[in-house]
Amino acid sequence: MWFDILKYNKRIALSRSSKLEKKTYSQHIMHKPKGLWYAFSLGKEESSWLNWLYAEMPHWLEKYDYFLEIDVSSANIIKISTEEELSDFDNKYQNTDRDTYDNDLTYTYSRLSIDWRKVAQDYDGMELTNYETLLRSLGGRHGSWIDIWDIDSGCIWNTNAIKVVKVKPIEERHQKRGRLRAEADGWI
């Protein structure tokens, strides 16, 4: 059954094409890196990407045509799932220079942002799992870059290091449900 592509621990990305665009995305000092974003689950309730899409970004379902299951095993990925890993990452890559943050960030957020250019020198991408626990561990330190990470997910900025395992067209019913929700919420 095609729904097997949606099982947990599969890495699923949205795409306009059934083929992966091979490229390296340039990085900046921001909260999130630029690249091919993916999630680990579309059906697992507590971290369901499909549920999150319906609730938060329903219009995305209309603008993409495919689910891509990707294999990142040959990519050099930093994985963060514990408070210690998060702290180590922050200490190494956090933006500390008030004058070098990108123009669209206020200073409060910029000093808690990541210099993704430095991360990209060391890795092809990153994965953040255990998101809810990590967010709670911050103890109210709002403005941290993981505040807007949303769910357990990953981002690959060097797509030359990964491959597509399976391709599934997004069913029209999902696109229609997303469009109806987006219209109701005023997104479109």
25-39: per-residue pLDDT in tens?
999 887 789 999 998
Per-residue buried b or exposed e for 132-170, using 16+ beta carbons within 10 Å of the residue's own CB: eebeeeeeeeebbbbeebbbbbbbbbbbebbebeebbeb
Specify whether the CB–CB gap between 177 and 58 falls below 8 A. yes
Residue 58's SS3 state is: helix
Residue 97 pLDDT: 67
pLDDT value for 2:
45
Give the pLDDT of residue 17. 93
Query: For residue 112, what pLDDT is reported?
Result: 67
pLDDT digits (tens, 9 = 90+) for 80-98: 999 899 989 988 998 876 5
| Residue 5 confidence (pLDDT) | 46
Are the C-beta atoms of residues 78 and 119 closer than 8 Å to each other?
yes
pLDDT of residue 1: 41
**Which segments of the chain have a pLDDT < 70?**
1-9, 41-48, 50, 97-112, 139-143, 174-188
